[in-house]
């Protein structure tokens, strides 16, 4: 039987540090925390104090006086050295007196699991929120422009992916940061159904009233297109890894992680599409402006 975690009765007014506070999950986590009356310290290069994953000298200032941390590593936990960096940060957080660490992790990524173990070994009560493909990649990330042109050309065929809604991820992360019952737990989150990319973009096309198709392309051609578009080599390499190794069907099975964490079902992809279309996410004239 699943028990829904209850709100903590803590009156601790110390801030919560949100790393990646301008990203897809981080900004939603920060907004939800503020709505609950929680003081949020944003961790980014542009914040004050500034935070930089590549400069450990920036870490003590952002950790000073915080009670909990949401960790979203950029660009991805799959990159070389990520687990070591995240582990070092988690140990410093423990030394600074942080009482909770919530790590956004990658589903089906061995390197991400190394980062999970590093955080778990640091000594602070932890929660892992493990996810794969975000639904919002279709309107807030690299898939937006292809959707707008009507063709999403990717080096992937009929593999099914249970796209997870970032709104669900943020709800689970905030619960783990502010409520009892999440310490030492792995929340593996997916959407409620697995779709092919063709089905996903077809649903978008149906919602916006114009055709959007998926085309499978060879990986070398895909990477050449990224290079021509000026995508940095390390980012292109990460995408190649995700498409060739992670997006191989290993993540097709759905989980009940959202319900286990929140007591409600995960948000269907069709609901995400309906709401994104209604707010004009794929409105070409609006984007062109």
State which H helix or E strand residue 101 sits in.
Answer: strand 100-106
Residue 200 falls inside a structural domain: no
Question: For residue 209, is it within any domain?
Answer: no
Residue whose tokens read 């410093």: 92
Q: Is the pLDDT of residue 136 over 80?
A: yes
| Type and span of the H or E element at 106 | strand 100-106
Asked if 191 contacts 107 with a C-beta cutoff of 8 angstroms, the reply is no
51-88 tens-digit pLDDT: 999 999 999 999 999 999 999 999 899 989 999 999 99
Asked whether residue 37 is assigned to any structural domain, the reply reads yes
Checking if the pLDDT of 4 tops 80, the result is no
What tokens does 194 get?
């697995």
Give whole-number Cα distances, 91 to 81, 108, 212, in Å.
16, 25, 46
Question: Looking at the predicted structure, is the pLDDT value of residue 151 above 70?
Answer: yes
Q: Residue 162: which CATH number?
A: 3.40.50.720
C-alpha 163 chain-centroid distance:
11
In a domain, 237, yes or no: no
Q: Is residue 95 part of a domain?
A: yes
Tell me the mean pLDDT in the region 274-278.
Answer: 98
In which domain, by residue range, is 107 found?
Answer: 16-195+249-276
Q: Cα angle at 252 between 196 and 193, to 5 degrees?
A: 65
Which pair of tokens denotes residue 170? 């943020």
**How far is the C-alpha of 37 from the C-alpha of 103, rounded, in Å?**
22
Reported as a single tens digit per residue, the pLDDT across 198-250 is 999 999 999 999 999 999 999 999 999 889 988 888 888 888 988 888 999 99
Number of domains in the chain: 1
Whether the CB-CB separation of 160 and 218 falls below 8 Å is answered with: no
Q: pLDDT band at residue 1, thresholds of 50, 70 and 90?
A: very low
- pLDDT of 117 above 60: yes
Q: Which conformational region is residue 87 in: left (phi greater than 0), alpha (psi within -120 to 50 degrees), or beta? A: alpha
Report if pTM > 0.85.
Answer: yes
pLDDT at 11: 65
Q: Which residue has the tokens 């929680």?
A: 38
List the end-to-end C-alpha distance of the chain, in Å, as a whole number: 51
H helices of the chain, in order, are 26-35, 59-63, 82-95, 110-120, 137-140, 144-149, 166-178, 197-208, 219-228, 233-241, 257-262, 269-278, 284-288
Higher pLDDT, 225 or 149: 149
Burial group, residue 57, by CB count within 10 angstroms (0-12, 13-18, 19+) = exposed
pLDDT in tens, 86-95: 999 999 999 9
pLDDT of 223: 93
% of the chain with per-residue pLDDT over 90: 84
Q: Residues 8-22: what's their mean pLDDT?
A: 82
Residue 271 lies in a domain: yes
Predicted confidence at residue 285, as pLDDT, reads 65
Q: Looking at residue 112, what DSSP letter applies?
A: H
169 in any annotated domain:
yes
Q: Does 212 reside within a domain?
A: no
Q: How far apart are CA 245 and CA 60, in angstroms?
A: 36
């Amino acid at each position: 039987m699943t028990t829904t975690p209850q709100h903590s009765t803590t009156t601790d007014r110390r801030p919560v540090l949100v790393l990646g506070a301008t990203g897809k999950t981080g900004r939603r986590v920060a907004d939800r925390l503020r709505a609950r009356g929680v003081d949020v310290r944003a961790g980014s290069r542009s914040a004050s104090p500034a935070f930089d994953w590549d400069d450990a000298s920036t870490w003590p200032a952002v950790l000073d006086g915080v009670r909990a941390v949401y960790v979203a590593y950029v660009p991805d936990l799959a990159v070389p050295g990520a687990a070591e960096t995240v582990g070092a940060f988690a140990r410093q957080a423990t030394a600074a007196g942080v009482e909770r660490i919530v790590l956004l992790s990658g589903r089906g990524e061995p390197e991400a699991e190394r980062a999970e173990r590093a955080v778990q070994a640091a000594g602070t009560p932890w929660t892992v929120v493990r996810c794969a493909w975000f639904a919002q990649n279709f309107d807030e990330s690299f898939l937006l422009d292809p959707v707008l042109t009507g063709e999403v050309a990717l080096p992937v065929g009929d593999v099914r992916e249970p796209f997870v809604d970032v709104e669900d991820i943020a709800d689970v992360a905030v619960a783990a940061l502010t409520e009892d019952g999440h310490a030492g737990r792995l929340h593996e989150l997916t959407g409620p159904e697995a779709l092919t990319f063709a089905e996903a973009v077809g649903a978008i096309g149906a919602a916006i009233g114009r055709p959007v198709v998926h085309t499978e392309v060879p990986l070398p051609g895909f990477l050449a297109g990224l290079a021509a578009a000026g995508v940095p080599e390390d980012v292109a390499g990460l995408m190649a890894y995700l498409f060739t190794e992670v997006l191989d069907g290993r993540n097709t099975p759905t989980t009940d992680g959202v319900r286990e964490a929140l007591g409600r079902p995960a948000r269907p992809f069709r609901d995400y599409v309906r709401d994104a279309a209604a707010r004009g996410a794929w409105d070409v004239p609006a984007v062109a402006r």
